[in-house]
């Protein structure tokens, strides 16, 4: 079962309706594209928050469209973040020497940002310097998470003979409540987890929202997925800047592009990084809430 | 007003003076009389457009105008005049011309009779002799016999087969003329503009073939009376209604059904036509017990009143709507409404006037019914036009036309309203935009000598973006990330915000090379002040329109066309070769990743630049005989150079297609059966594909884009066939029935519609390989599709 997604913009709703139509009347097949060879490009993914332990910078590269395997990570970059008061924090490559964390740079010692400050990331790879700045904006608190049985989903699980001991009980929907401050302009990014695992309605879904058309109370917003009793739902709500919102919106668009028929021609997301690097340096305040399904 | 505009105005007044002087001097020279009147269909009383009225002795001819009216001024004497029209019996009349006279002619159609087809020697050689170039008349009778997608004959699908026209893909109602984009076509129904010609996202167009009297596409050499769009005019006129007897057509098709009724209100004086169509899809959906319903319907109505031979009035209306409902909680709809009130008045034998009042509206809505996330989104565009057009037949060598048009346009780009008190949304509205669009034109069609004819004109376009509204000034207008408004000015209702004045010269010449061939040349400048906000290849009904404004300049096009026209086999086969070059300035495009929906700072997304296109178009057409139809080939290239798009590098336009080849033909097998067929081939449309990929965040596998439109989809080709059966017993009945059996895409070619990418997976959605691999998927729409349409005419 597919859920409504408030967190994606309404424009994608329109395009999705079109895709629904297309699927009704169309067929498809896999084809081989004669793609052009291009030099690898640098990809930087940075996160700096107001909570300790939630900062990292990941540096990697692009590969050819048909190249298989994980994309290469860059492990010998020089990474540092400085704030608007001139304080500079060096990020070390994989300080814990974790084999899965190649290409990840972490602050050492631990570090956190403060609301209202602007942070600048600099990444030096060989001769090339890549920089980006973003501002740490306040986030509104999550006032509550609640859950309710979703009858349609229960029916769906029954009809489809889902019989895993936990899976067949995953028909509880979790709802989010928050107050949206009307006096300031806000953008939010949401991440949902079930028992610590990222949860999305679709692999390509990104949950960002612009408060322009939002009223004061955000009540009863269903989060992604369904839960079984005793499972843990976790919601992370990030404050993001407008460039951050646009980055994630662009990322959603390229992930769901129809090839430029009804949607615009696919384009790389607008990054805040200099020197043509791909990716984004995101600075956020975080509100976190967890909830155990009764 | 600045000095440049004053110079333009002075030039214009000089030309008007020359034209008037030209008219009066020749008119005074000799004792001449004028013969004028209307030419009509004998059966229905419908006025016929473009009938040749020809005098063989002195080789002088005129055509009836868009109102079926002709006027020919000749020296005193006795003449034989021939009236001929495609698909009709030729009529000859002997006239004693010793005073100004009125003569109305009825022509009988010979569509049903197969044996006697009169091919006249010169009067029917319009391909060669007429001044028109880059202009195609669409044969509605033939259209109805040709195979159609899902059995619905559609004018726009035929337009897409013409030389110089490119279609966006199968099942769309968008077309692109000579490098112009889809919004650069002015689509008119009884002079009223249609802002979105699609039903079902383009599978069918808004034009109901049962009510169309005449339709014509102008691609170049556009007369001064038309303006407002850069690339083409699709001028569709509906029937006036039979003023002699009650009749109609009932049509039962696979996709939709329709009924048309027409008849006299007062015989010979007034008539009506009423037609309605409705789709059948939701009926099948109900049978299949589906929650979703998809439907469209439209209505055409016209009342025609002729109080005297000097006055004719009609009111025509079109109303159409598409409604899509997904279950009970999500739906959207859109539609066009138009009303035209037109008054034709004949001041005297030589002066003809047409006064029109036109209203047109396009709107769409989107509704999500949900206690929490429910909202309703509506957007609308309304315009009102007053038009006064005058034709003055100075003498057989000169026909002057002049007019004034003014349009008021109101754009309401969008309102979002919560539709439940618990909704998280609040009402949000984008400010309305307003425009006044004036045009003043004058033109003359002049026969210089036996070989050379000219048509020249000037159109003065005065466009005003007016209040009420607030206009922002930006620190950097092109920065769509960190938008900084540095100033705002509030304007009251009708207060002038920005004026754009443009002079549009139009010129066409024809030089006869012999009896059967001619050279033609044309130049036209066009200006467009209404821009479509769409960044995809195919516009969707949810796109909005925007007037020229302080941040959006008018689009301009200059087009040069040269053509060679030749008729062979006694004028039964028309050949033409045209080559064009079109340069377009300030073509409206959008930044990469532009937010074009519901954006208060839309101005920051506008990117305007240059586009240019050139091409060669060949066409062969056989109009009469057992076998009729046309074949066309177009070679063209369209590029764009827009600062801020594709890293400022030149790129191919979305609608660039190098080769397009089309054949469409009908063959009368015998009295019962006729056959029809289409074949189309075109180079694939340009596509932006990834050069690479990268991982980002928690498991997103993102495409890397390096250039816009750097790849081409595989070519599109398709063959359709149809057979029309007219039962024998029709002859003795008061009503006639016919069956059209058609096969669309006979060899079931998987024609590419678009390509998207996803993680490599099997049919059930299980990831293949190590889960990082991507693949490209080609979407194709229609396999072989049979259809049956049953029609009753009475």
Tens digit of pLDDT for each residue in B168-205? 888 888 999 999 999 999 999 999 999 999 998 888 89
Q: How far is CA B262 from the centre of its chain?
A: 25
Q: Are B222 and B236 spatial neighbours (Cβ–Cβ below 8 Å)?
A: no
pLDDT value of position A9:
46
pLDDT tier, B769 (very low <50, low <70, confident <90, very high otherwise): confident
Average pLDDT, chain A: 89
DSSP-derived 3-state class of residue B731: helix
CB contact under 8 A, A65 and B774: yes
Q: Which residues of A touch B169 (CB under 8 A)?
A: 261
Nearest to A62 among B590, B689, B704 (CB): B704
Nearest to B776 among A31, A41, A251 (CB): A31
Any A CB within 8 A of B689 CB: yes
CA distance B592 to chain A (A): 6
Instruction: With residue B6 as reference, give the H or E element that holds it.
Output: helix B3-29
Structure tokens at A217: 């109370």
Q: How confident is the model over A57-67, as pLDDT tens digits?
A: 999 999 999 99
CATH number of B31-124: 2.60.40.1120
Judge whether residue B27 has pLDDT over 60. Answer: no
**Domain(s) of CATH 2.170.130: residues in chain B:** 135-233
Residues 542-561 of B with CB under 8 A from A: 542
CB contact under 8 A, A212 and B428: yes
CA A94, CA A106: separation in Å to the nearest integer?
7
Average pLDDT, chain B: 88
Nearest CA in chain A to B694: A62
Judge whether residue B20 has pLDDT over 60. Answer: no
User: Nearest Cα to B405, choosing from B186, B136, B655?
Assistant: B186
Q: Which residues of B touch A26 (CB under 8 A)?
A: 753, 779-781
pLDDT value of position B17:
46
Q: How confident is the model over B402-417, as pLDDT tens digits?
A: 999 999 999 999 898 8
* Distances in whole angstroms, Cα of residue B403 to Cα of each of A136, A189, B20, B386, B689: 62, 57, 15, 11, 49
pLDDT tier, B780 (very low <50, low <70, confident <90, very high otherwise): confident
User: Nearest Cα to B169, choosing from B634, B604, B582, B716?
Assistant: B716
Q: How confident is the model over B442-473, as pLDDT tens digits?
A: 999 998 998 999 999 999 999 999 999 999 99
Judge whether residue B16 has pLDDT over 80. Answer: no
Q: How confident is the model over B57-78, as pLDDT tens digits?
A: 777 778 887 778 888 888 888 8
pLDDT value of position B116:
33
**φ, ψ dihedrals at A223, nearest 5°:** -90, 175
CB atoms within 10 A of CB A28: 17
CA distance A84 to chain B (A): 19
CB contact under 8 A, A251 and B696: yes
Q: Which residues of A touch B700 (CB under 8 A)?
A: 204, 206, 251, 255
pLDDT value of position B440:
98
From A117-126, B29-38, B72-81, B106-115, the region with the lowest mean pLDDT: B106-115
Any A CB within 8 A of B775 CB: yes
Sign of the torsion formed by the C-alpha atoms of B223, B225, B226 and B228: positive
pLDDT tier, B349 (very low <50, low <70, confident <90, very high otherwise): confident
Nearest to A260 among B424, B536, B783 (CB): B536
Q: Which residues of A touch B418 (CB under 8 A)?
A: 215
Q: Which residues of B touch A278 (CB under 8 A)?
A: 694, 696, 702, 704
DSSP-derived 3-state class of residue B576: strand
Structure tokens at B282: 């939701």
CA distance B668 to chain A (A): 34
* Distances in whole angstroms, Cα of residue A260 to Cα of each of A270, B315, B753: 18, 41, 10
Any A CB within 8 A of B326 CB: yes
Judge whether residue B715 has pLDDT over 50. Answer: yes
**Domains delineated in chain A:** 10-15+138-274+284-292 (no CATH), 42-135 (2.60.40)
Q: Which fold has domain B135-233?
A: Ferric Hydroxamate Uptake Protein; Chain A, domain 1 (2.170.130)
pLDDT tier, B18 (very low <50, low <70, confident <90, very high otherwise): very low
Given the structure tokens 């904006």, which residue do they identify? Answer: A137
Any A CB within 8 A of B79 CB: no
pLDDT value of position B785:
87
User: Nearest Cα to B243, choosing from B219, B272, B217?
Assistant: B272
Nearest to A218 among B424, B709, B770 (CB): B424
pLDDT tier, A5 (very low <50, low <70, confident <90, very high otherwise): very low
pLDDT tier, B730 (very low <50, low <70, confident <90, very high otherwise): low
**Domain(s) of CATH 2.40.170.20: residues in chain B:** 234-759+779-793
Q: Which residues of A touch B754 (CB under 8 A)?
A: 258-261
Any A CB within 8 A of B779 CB: yes
| Percent of all residues in chain B with a pLDDT value above 90, rounded to a whole number | 57
Any A CB within 8 A of B783 CB: yes
CA distance A16 to chain B (A): 12
CA distance B207 to chain A (A): 22
pLDDT tier, B691 (very low <50, low <70, confident <90, very high otherwise): very high
Any A CB within 8 A of B764 CB: no
Nearest to B772 among A37, A70, A267 (CB): A70
**Domain(s) of CATH 2.60.40.1120: residues in chain B:** 31-124
How many residues can be counted in chain B?
794
CA distance B290 to chain A (A): 12
CA B556, CA B612: separation in Å to the nearest integer?
11
Q: Which CATH number fits domain B234-759+779-793: 1.10.3720.10, 3.30.830.10, 2.40.170.20, 3.40.50.300?
A: 2.40.170.20
pLDDT tier, B731 (very low <50, low <70, confident <90, very high otherwise): low
CB contact under 8 A, A203 and B755: no
Judge whether residue A23 has pLDDT over 60. Answer: no
pLDDT value of position B579:
97
Judge whether residue A128 has pLDDT over 70. Answer: yes
Nearest to A269 among B593, B695, B770 (CB): B593
Nearest CA in chain A to B372: A220
CB contact under 8 A, B691 and A37: yes
Given the structure tokens 């006694």, which residue do they identify? Answer: B570
CB contact under 8 A, A261 and B536: yes
CA distance B637 to chain A (A): 19
pLDDT value of position B389:
96
CB contact under 8 A, A30 and B775: yes
Higher pLDDT, B678 or B25: B678
Nearest to A62 among B426, B693, B750 (CB): B693
Instruction: With residue B159 as reference, give the H or E element that holds it.
Output: helix B155-159
Mutating which of A4, A9, A32, A33 best tests the B interface, going by the most B Cβ atoms within 10 A? A33
Rounded mean pLDDT, B298-315: 92
| DSSP 8-state secondary structure symbol assigned to residue B47 | B
Any A CB within 8 A of B773 CB: yes
Rounded mean pLDDT, A157-182: 91
At CA B482, angle to CA B476 and CA B484, rounded to 5? Answer: 55
Q: How many CB pairs under 8 A join A and B?
A: 249
Q: Are B220 and B507 spatial neighbours (Cβ–Cβ below 8 Å)?
A: no
How far apart are the two ends of chain A, measured CA to CA in Å?
23
Q: Are A33 and A96 spatial neighbours (Cβ–Cβ below 8 Å)?
A: no
CA distance A287 to chain B (A): 19
CB contact under 8 A, B782 and A38: no
Judge whether residue A1 has pLDDT over 60. Answer: no
CA distance B491 to chain A (A): 24
CB contact under 8 A, A65 and B703: yes
Rounded mean pLDDT, B283-301: 86
User: Nearest Cα to A83, choosing from A49, A56, A119, A116?
Assistant: A119
Nearest CA in chain A to B775: A30
Q: How confident is the model over B205-255, as pLDDT tens digits?
A: 999 999 998 899 999 999 999 999 999 999 999 999 988 889 999 999 888
CB atoms within 10 A of CB B521: 16
């Amino acid at each position: 079962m597919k859920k409504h997604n408030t967190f994606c913009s309404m424009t994608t709703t329109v395009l999705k309706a079109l895709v629904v139509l297309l699927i009704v009347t169309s067929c498809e097949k896999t084809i081989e594209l004669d793609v052009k060879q291009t030099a690898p490009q640098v990809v930087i993914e940075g996160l700096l928050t107001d909570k300790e332990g939630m900062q990292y910078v990941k540096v990697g590269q692009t590969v050819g469209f048909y190249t298989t395997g994980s994309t290469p990570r860059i492990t010998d970059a020089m990474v540092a973040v400085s704030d608007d008061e001139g304080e500079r924090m060096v990020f070390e490559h994989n300080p814990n020497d974790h084999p899965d964390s190649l290409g990840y740079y972490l602050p050492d010692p631990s570090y956190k940002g403060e609301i209202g400050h602007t942070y600048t990331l600099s990444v030096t790879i060989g001769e090339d310097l890549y920089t980006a700045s973003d501002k740490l904006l306040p986030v509104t608190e999550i006032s509550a998470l609640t859950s309710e049985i979703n009858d349609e989903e229960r029916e769906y699980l029954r009809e489809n003979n889902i019989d895993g001991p936990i899976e067949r009980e995953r028909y509880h929907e979790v709802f989010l409540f928050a107050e949206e401050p009307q006096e300031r302009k806000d953008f939010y990014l949401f991440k949902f987890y079930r028992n610590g695992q990222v949860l999305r309605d679709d692999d390509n879904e990104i949950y960002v929202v612009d408060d322009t058309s939002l009223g004061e109370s955000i009540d009863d917003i269903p989060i992604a997925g369904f839960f079984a009793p005793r499972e843990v739902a976790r919601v992370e709500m990030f404050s993001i800047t407008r460039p951050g919102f646009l980055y994630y919106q662009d990322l959603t668009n390229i992930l769901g592009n129809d090839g430029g028929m009804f949607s615009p021609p696919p384009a790389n997301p607008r990054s805040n990084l200099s020197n043509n690097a791909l990716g984004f340096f995101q600075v956020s305040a975080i509100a976190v809430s967890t909830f155990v399904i009764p | 007003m600045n000095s440049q505009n004053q110079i333009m105005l002075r030039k214009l007044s000089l030309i008007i003076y020359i034209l008037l002087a030209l008219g009066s001097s020749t008119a005074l020279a000799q004792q001449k009389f004028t013969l004028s009147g209307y030419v009509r269909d004998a059966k229905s009383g419908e006025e016929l457009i473009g009938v040749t009225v020809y005098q063989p002795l002195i080789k002088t001819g005129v055509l009836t105008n868009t109102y079926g009216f002709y006027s020919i001024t000749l020296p005193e004497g006795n003449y034989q005049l021939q009236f001929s029209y495609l698909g009709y019996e030729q009529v000859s009349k002997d006239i004693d011309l010793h005073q100004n006279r009125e003569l109305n002619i009825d022509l009988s159609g010979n569509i049903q009779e197969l044996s006697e087809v009169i091919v006249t020697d010169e009067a029917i050689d319009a391909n060669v002799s007429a001044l028109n170039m880059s202009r195609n008349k669409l044969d509605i009778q033939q259209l109805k016999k040709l195979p159609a997608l899902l059995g619905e004959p559609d004018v726009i699908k035929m337009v897409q087969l013409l030389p110089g026209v490119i279609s966006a893909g199968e099942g769309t109602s968008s077309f692109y003329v000579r490098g112009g984009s889809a919004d650069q076509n002015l689509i008119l129904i009884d002079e009223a503009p249609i802002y979105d010609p699609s039903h079902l996202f383009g599978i069918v167009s808004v034009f109901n073939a049962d009510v169309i009297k005449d339709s014509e596409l102008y691609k170049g050499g556009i007369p001064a009376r038309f303006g407002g769009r850069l690339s083409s005019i699709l001028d569709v006129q509906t029937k006036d209604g039979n003023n002699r007897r009650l009749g109609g057509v009932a049509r039962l098709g696979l996709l939709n059904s329709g009924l048309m009724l027409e008849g006299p209100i007062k015989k010979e004086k007034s008539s009506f036509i009423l037609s309605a169509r409705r789709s059948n899809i939701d009926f099948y959906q109900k049978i299949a017990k589906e929650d979703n319903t998809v439907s469209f319907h439209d209505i055409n109505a016209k009342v025609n009143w002729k109080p005297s031979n000097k006055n004719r009035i009609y009111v025509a209306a079109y109303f159409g709507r598409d409604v899509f409902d997904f279950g009970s909680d999500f739906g959207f709809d859109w539609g066009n409404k138009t009303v035209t009130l037109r008054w034709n008045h004949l001041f005297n034998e030589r002066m003809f006037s047409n006064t029109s009042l036109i209203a047109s509206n396009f709107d769409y809505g989107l509704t999500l019914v949900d206690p929490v996330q429910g909202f309703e989104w509506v957007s609308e565009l309304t315009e009102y036009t007053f038009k006064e057009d005058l034709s003055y037949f100075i003498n057989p060598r000169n026909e002057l036309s002049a007019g004034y048009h003014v349009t008021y346009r109101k754009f309401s780009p969008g309102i979002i309203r919560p539709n439940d008190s618990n909704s998280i949304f609040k009402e949000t509205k984008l400010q309305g935009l307003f425009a006044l669009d004036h045009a003043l034109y004058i033109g003359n069609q002049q026969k210089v000598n036996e070989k050379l004819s000219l048509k020249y004109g000037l159109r003065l376009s005065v466009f005003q973006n007016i209040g009420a509204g607030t206009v922002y000034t930006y620190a950097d207008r092109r920065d769509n990330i960190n938008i900084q408004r540095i100033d705002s000015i509030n304007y009251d209702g009708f207060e002038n915000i920005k004026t754009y004045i443009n002079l549009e010269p139009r010129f066409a010449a024809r030089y006869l090379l012999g009896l059967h061939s001619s050279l033609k040349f044309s130049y036209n400048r066009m200006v467009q002040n209404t821009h479509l906000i769409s960044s995809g290849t195919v516009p969707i009904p949810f796109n909005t329109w925007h007037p020229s404004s302080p941040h959006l300049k008018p689009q301009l096009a200059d087009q040069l066309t040269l053509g060679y026209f030749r008729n062979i086999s006694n004028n039964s086969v028309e050949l033409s070769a045209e080559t064009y070059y079109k340069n377009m300035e300030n073509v409206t495009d959008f930044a990469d990743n532009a937010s074009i929906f519901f954006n208060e700072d839309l101005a920051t997304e506008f990117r305007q630049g240059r586009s240019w296109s050139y091409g060669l178009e060949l066409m062969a057409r056989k109009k009469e005989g057992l076998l009729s139809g046309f074949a066309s080939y177009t070679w063209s290239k369209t590029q764009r150079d827009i600062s801020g798009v594709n890293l400022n590098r030149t790129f191919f336009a979305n609608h660039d297609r190098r080769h397009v080849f089309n054949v469409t033909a009908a063959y009368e097998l015998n009295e019962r059966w006729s056959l029809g067929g289409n074949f189309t081939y075109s180079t694939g449309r340009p596509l932006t594909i990834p050069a690479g990929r990268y991982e980002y965040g928690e498991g997103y596998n993102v495409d890397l884009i390096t250039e816009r439109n750097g790849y081409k989809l595989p070519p599109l080709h398709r063959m359709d066939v149809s057979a029309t059966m007219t039962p024998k017993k029709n002859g003795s009945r008061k009503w006639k029935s016919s069956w059209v059996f058609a096969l669309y895409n006979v060899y079931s070619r998987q024609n590419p519609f678009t390509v998207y990418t996803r993680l490599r997976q099997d049919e059930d959605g299980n990831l293949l390989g190590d889960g990082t691999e991507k693949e490209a998927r080609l979407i194709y729409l229609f396999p072989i599709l049979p259809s049956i349409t049953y029609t009753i005419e009475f």
